[in-house]
């Protein structure tokens, strides 16, 4: 069949349906009617509620990815904020801890200084406060270095005390610093008096016994010495003023094969932790010098006449 003979007429109505323009007009009119009816009479409220209920799961599923992204961003932002706040809190805690330690250290030093001042007021001896700088470098001795020397009037042989008792004795003096031999040094000896019995003895330094202490040597096995007895300076050596606490008896060993008892003592002073000390003037330095022979009047003999 030639092409010119093709039928160009549209098919019948029942096969084609309504045209696109007719559909547009019908649905536009329906939409306009529904809008006016809903605005005036709320006729679609129930239908809209039912439709919203039916579509809610779909809407919930559609919103999940968006909410997950938002929550994820907020989570990481909150995590960063929390970490930053934690770091700031740790810094503040470390600063507060440092300040608390400083307060405790200052309180301890204040207490020790008050005790040292009170002890110094009980002694009628010229004294000079000093600070312990460091321990001596010799590992076989027990000595410390203080920050006072010849320039401040320190003399060799001067007693040194802390807030608890006798710490040692100045054994070497330099222009600006001095060396103090502690009572627990093996070369140090100090005359002591038992405050309970009044018996005199000599305490020797014994750094190897019981972590560092003193020992009463050449005491008879039957000597009246008990654990807990307080030993003070006797004052007979002309160096230490009498009555200063030195040590307390910690252990008494009496052996049948020895005539002497082994008596171990614990020093009263903080021999391993003293910070502030007081240097006293030795007793012998306070005794006035003996007058010269020319100044002494000759004795008058009995029966002699002028």
CATH code (residue 274)? 2.40.10.340
Q: What are the start-end ranges of the H helices in 20-44?
A: 20-41
Nearest 5 degrees, angle CA 218-CA 243-CA 224?
35
DSSP 3-state of 54: helix
Residues 98 and 38 in one domain: yes
CB 213 within 8 A of CB 267: yes
Is pTM, for the whole model, over 0.85? no
DSSP 3-state of 173: strand
247 assigned to some structural domain: yes
171 assigned to some structural domain: yes
The pLDDT score that the predictor gives to residue 136 is 86
Residues 176 and 118 in one domain: no
Residues 174 and 205 in one domain: yes
Q: Please give the mean pLDDT across all residues of the chain.
A: 81
Residue for token digits 């270095």? 145
Alpha-carbon gap, residue 292 to 289, rounded angstroms: 9
Residues 61 and 210 in one domain: no
Residues 85 and 209 in one domain: no
State both tokens at 55: 């579509």
Residues 179 and 239 in one domain: yes
Domain region containing 50: 19-122
The pLDDT score that the predictor gives to residue 267 is 93
Nearest 5 degrees, angle CA 151-CA 156-CA 161?
95
State both tokens at 163: 């807030």
224 assigned to some structural domain: yes
Alpha-carbon gap, residue 19 to 24, rounded angstroms: 9
State both tokens at 196: 């309970």
Q: Low-confidence residues of the chain, pLDDT below 70?
A: 1-17, 43-44, 100-103, 105-106, 112-113, 115-116, 118-123, 209-211, 284-306
Residues 164 and 270 in one domain: yes
Residues 160 and 278 in one domain: yes
293 assigned to some structural domain: no
Among the candidates 104, 122, 140, a domain finishes at 122
Residues 143 and 203 in one domain: yes
Among the candidates 107, 122, 137, a domain finishes at 122
Residues 56 and 139 in one domain: no
Alpha-carbon gap, residue 224 to 262, rounded angstroms: 13
* Closest of 250, 245, 231 to residue 193, by C-alpha: 231
Q: In Å, how far from its chain's centre is CA 221?
A: 46
9 assigned to some structural domain: no
* Closest of 108, 113, 109, 170 to residue 136, by C-alpha: 170
CB 183 within 8 A of CB 267: yes
296 assigned to some structural domain: no
5 assigned to some structural domain: no
CB 182 within 8 A of CB 136: no
The pLDDT score that the predictor gives to residue 250 is 92
Alpha-carbon gap, residue 252 to 59, rounded angstroms: 92
Total number of domains constituting the chain: 2
Residues 194 and 158 in one domain: yes
Among the candidates 106, 122, 138, a domain finishes at 122
CB 262 within 8 A of CB 223: no
Residue for token digits 């909410």? 67
Residues 72 and 116 in one domain: yes
49 assigned to some structural domain: yes
**What sign does the CA torsion over 176, 146, 144, 172 have?**
positive
């Amino acid at each position: 069949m030639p092409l010119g003979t093709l039928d160009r007429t549209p098919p019948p109505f029942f096969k084609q349906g309504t045209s696109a323009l007719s559909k547009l007009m019908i649905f536009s009119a329906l939409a306009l009617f529904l809008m006016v009816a809903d605005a005036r009479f709320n006729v679609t409220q129930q239908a809209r509620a039912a439709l919203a209920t039916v579509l809610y799961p779909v809407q919930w599923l559609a919103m999940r990815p968006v909410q997950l992204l938002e929550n994820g961003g907020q989570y990481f932002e909150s995590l960063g904020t929390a970490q930053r706040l934690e770091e700031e809190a740790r810094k503040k805690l470390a600063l507060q801890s440092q300040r608390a330690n400083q307060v405790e250290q200052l309180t301890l030093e204040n207490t020790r200084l008050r005790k040292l001042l009170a002890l110094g007021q009980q002694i009628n001896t010229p004294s000079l406060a000093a600070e312990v700088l460091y321990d001596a470098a010799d590992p076989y001795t027990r000595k410390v270095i203080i920050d006072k020397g010849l320039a401040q009037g320190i003399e060799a042989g001067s007693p040194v005390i802390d807030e608890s008792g006798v710490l040692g004795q100045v054994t070497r003096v330099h222009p600006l610093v001095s060396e103090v031999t502690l009572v627990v040094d093996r070369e140090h000896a100090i005359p002591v008096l038992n405050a309970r019995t009044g018996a005199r003895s000599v305490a020797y330094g014994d750094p190897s016994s019981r972590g560092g202490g003193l020992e009463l040597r050449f005491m008879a096995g039957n000597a009246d010495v008990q654990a807990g007895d307080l030993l003070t300076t006797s004052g007979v050596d002309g160096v230490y003023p009498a009555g200063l606490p030195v040590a307390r008896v910690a252990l008494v060993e009496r052996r049948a094969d020895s005539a002497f008892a082994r008596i171990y003592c614990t020093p009263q002073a903080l021999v391993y932790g003293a910070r502030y000390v007081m240097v006293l003037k030795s007793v012998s330095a306070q005794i006035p010098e003996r007058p010269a022979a020319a100044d002494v009047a000759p004795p008058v003999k009995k029966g002699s006449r002028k």
